[in-house]
Structure formats: structure tokens, C-alpha cells
Structure 1
Amino acid sequence: MAVGLALGALVVLALFVYRPAFTGVIVLAVVIGLWELSARLTERKDIRVPLVPLALGGAAMVVAGYLRGAEGAWAGLAVTGLAVLVWRMVRPPAGYLRDVTAGVFAAFYVPFLATFVALMLAADDGSWRVLTFLILTIVSDTGAYAVGWRFGRRKLAPRISPGKTREGLAGAVVFAMTAGALCLHFLIDDAVWWQGLLMGLAVAASATLGDLGESMIKRDLGIKDMGTLLPGHGGIMDRLDSLLPTAPVCWALFLLFAGSH
């Protein structure tokens, strides 16, 4: 609880006291997430992704997305991918294709998806868009857990995540759609409540798929958590699993419903 409250306070302060500082929060999460992912890949699969170009490129990707928009994000991803290919050349050729493939995957999975948070932040009402994105994702996860714990009977994907149930997914949908209608009605200019219902539905789907996706990665690696940085919560990547794929979904829907400014 204390960890969650501390993270929440940091997010709110960065969003509403000095908005550009929130890009620093995103960069910090990206760099730690990349470190956790690369460490687990090395420990469990002997895959050695080039962490230095990934971290530097990931940070640049987020800043470029905030300052230059989607074009900056795509350019940052391309340059980071190229840097990974070149950086790995200083080591022996054995395992080159494996390492750079994992590196390009990591560049897409962590910093590129996180850059969509910076794209939301760059709008005139960007603080409210990012806050809405965070609220919907957290509410979706909470609804899935609460309803699944109390009423869950039928497994959703037992081979991937045995704890997830269809009832939990229904709870995520109801909670997220309700929160979406309220947030878009009260927090987002030029948006209406029914658009929030659609956004909530999309968030419940993307957050669930994101959680299942990371569960697949952890099962392949044979681990329970990506890290131990957050007591009781695992690592940063264990908190980002539903947020990362939800960021581009929310960005696209905000663009559709409320425009880019």
C-alpha cells in the first residue's frame, strides 16, 4: 500500500506541478524496466541484449515523442534499433542474431510503447489525458482482481495465467467502462460520456492482453516476477505489464474523440 501511494504521489506531482518533469518519470520507468528485462534474459536464457544503446535510445525516444510527436517516436525507434545492431558487433558473432532480435523486441516493448504516454502528455490537456489513462488501467486491473477473487470460477487462459478468470475479465470491463464514462465526461474537453464507455472497453481488453503477454514472457523465462525493486509488487516491469500496451490504445482513442490538442 505504501509503495502504491508513494508512486501515485510522484505521478500526480509530476503531472500537475511541472508537466515536462513527467517525461523524466517515464524515462526512469523505461530505463529500469529495460534493465530488469535484460537481466532476466541474461540469467534465464543467456541472451545478452545491448543495454546501453537501449537505455539511451529509449530515453531519447520518450523525449522525441514529447517534443516532436509520433514522427519523433518512430524515428527514435529506428535509430535505437540501428544502434542495437551496431553495438552488438563488438562482441563475437555467436548469438548475434539472437541478441539483436531480443534487443529490437525490448526497444519496441518498453520504450516505444511507453512513448505513447509522452504523446498524450504533449496535448494541451495532456495531464488529464495521462491521468485518465492511468485511472482506467488501474481500475481495470482492480476490477479484474476483485471480481475474479470473489466470483471467479471459469479460467480465462489457464496455460498462461491460471489466476485469471472470465468473471474477472467481466469485472475489468464493467469497472473500466464506468470509470471511462466518468473520466471523459468530467476531465476531458470535447469528449462525451459514451466515448468513455468505448475507451473503457478497449482499456479492459488491452490491459488484460498486456498482463497475459508478460505472463507468457515470465513463463518462458521460468520466473514469477521480473524484479524485486518494489516490495510486495515485484519489479517495475510487473507494474508496467498492463500500462504499456494500453498507452497506444488510449492515445489513438483520445486522438479520435478529442483531437490532438
Structure 2
Amino acid sequence: MTVVISAIPWLVVSLVGGAAACVPLYGGNVRRFLRSSLFVKVVMWVPLFVAFVVAVSGGLLTGLVSGVLLASIGAIEWLRRDTAGRTRWYLALFVASCAVWPISTAQLAPPLWMTYCLSSVFSDVTAFFFGRYLGRHRLPDWINRDKSWEGVLGQLLGGVLGVLVLGMIFGTAPTLLAGLVIGAASAIGDLVNSVAKRIVGIEDWGSTIPGHGGVIDRFCSLNIALAAAVLLPR
């Protein structure tokens, strides 16, 4: 766990760098950015990182508690939003995917688990910036026209870059294929979530995590990525 804690300075550097990269989206106006929901989203990565550390610290037990908590909150969010029950299939998928928390925390050593977990996060962040700065070719309406194919590409590249960078930080040695798998799994989870939200006609499943939306919004892609990570050779 010492290796995981030692990554905190890198987290700080990443947050500062990420925040700086967001400022141009507000015309270079720092005050506007600091008052935005995007700034809140950046700041919320601190408690989320702490939650990741806690989840992996106790192996199966803390992973089980984390999975049950996420599934329960996600189900409550879904019940409040999809009153017509049009996406029962997605609720079932999300709840089932939460089982990956006890499975992955029991099977993967904390440094490797954090490498895979944060590589998925890194791929999400990369997708965001690719979409905002390079996005030209929009996804179909039935998925989400606010997202682009460039963002999907960013997600794939982000998974590869994530395992390279985070592998060095946590002292692990995941392959580039692992990064590609995690990036692809994250993209699939995110796109399926987008489809489900388009069916219901909502922007977010909830406001449980300020700046990120609901638990389902934040963990949909991560759950699928962790499931893929468990299947990777070690």
C-alpha cells in the first residue's frame, strides 16, 4: 500500500495539469473556470482517489462493500430517473458489473489494481480533451451527438498511455495490449451508458458525485474496464 500512497504527488501534478488544460475551454478566463462545474469535477478526483485506495486496501472485504454500495446507489438513481422502466437491461448490467469490485480487489495486487483503475480514469479524461479540442465527427444521435469519434479514439489512446505512465508510477509492468483493452472496455462502457441515457432522455443519472453526475455515470466505464482487467494475463 506504500506504493499506492506514494503516487499522491503524481495525482496532485495530474490534477493541476488537467485543470490548466481546462482553462482554454473558458476563453483563458481562470475565474470562469473556477466557478464552473468542470472545476468541481477536477476537485472531486481527490475523494474519488481516496475511495479507490480504501476499496483496494482490504482486498475482498472492502471490494465487496464498495461493490454493494455502488450497486445500491446506482439502483436508487435508476429508479428515480427511469420511471417507465425502459432500460431495465441497463440496470441489470450495471448492478452485475459491480461484482467486479470484490473479484478484482481479491485477485489483483493493490499497485496493479490502481494501475488498471486509474488507466481507465485516464482514458476517460483523454476522451474528454480529444472530444473538446479535436472533436469534428459526431457520434450518431441514438448514441450521443455531443460526443465524437475523436473522443472514442482518445479513450483508446488514453488507455495505452495510462498503463505506460501509471505502470511506472506504481512499479508495475502492464503491456500495451492491456492498455488498449482497458481503453476499449472503458469506451464500450461509456457508449452503452450514453445509449441508455438517450433512451430515457436524461443528461445524467443523478448528482451523487458533484461535477460527475451519478454513480452510474462515473462508474459505468470503470466497471467494464476492471472486468476486462481481471481477464488479462498476469
- Structure 1 length normalisation: TM-score? 0.65
Displacement after TM superposition at 1:129 (Å):
3.3
CA contact 1:160–1:215 (8 Å) conserved in 2 = yes
- Please state if 1:180 is matched with 2:163: yes
- 3-state SS of 2:212 partner: coil
- Please state if 1:5 is matched with 2:46: yes
1:119-134 matched pairs, under 5 angstroms:
119-123=103-107, 125-134=108-117
**Larger-gyration structure (1/2):** 1
1:1-261 matched pairs, under 5 angstroms:
1-16=42-57, 18-19=58-59, 20-42=61-83, 45=84, 47=85, 102=88, 106-107=91-92, 109-123=93-107, 125-184=108-167, 187=170, 192-193=173-174, 195=175, 197-253=176-232, 257-258=233-234
Residue number in structure 2 paired with 1:95: none
CA contact 2:127–2:154 (8 Å) conserved in 1 = yes
Displacement after TM superposition at 1:139 (Å):
0.6
Residues matched between the structures, number? 192
CA contact 1:30–1:114 (8 Å) conserved in 2 = yes
Q: Percent identity?
A: 27
CA contact 1:120–1:129 (8 Å) conserved in 2 = no
Structure 1 unaligned spans of 5+ = 48-97
Return closer, same or farther for 1:153/1:105 CA change in 2, 3 Å cut-off: closer
Residues in 2 aligned to 1:145 and 1:106: alpha-carbon distance in whole angstroms: 25
Displacement after TM superposition at 1:183 (Å):
4.1
Residues in 1 aligned to 2:111 and 2:99: alpha-carbon distance in whole angstroms: 17
The one-letter amino acid of 1:115's match is A
Displacement after TM superposition at 1:170 (Å):
2.3
- Structure 2 length normalisation: TM-score? 0.72
CA contact 1:158–1:164 (8 Å) conserved in 2 = no
Residues in 2 aligned to 1:148 and 1:200: alpha-carbon distance in whole angstroms: 20
CA RMSD of aligned residues (A): 2.5
Residues in 2 aligned to 1:11 and 1:205: alpha-carbon distance in whole angstroms: 21
Q: Determine which structure has greater relative contact order: mean sequence separation of CA pairs < 8 Å that are 6+ residues apart, divided by chain length.
A: 2
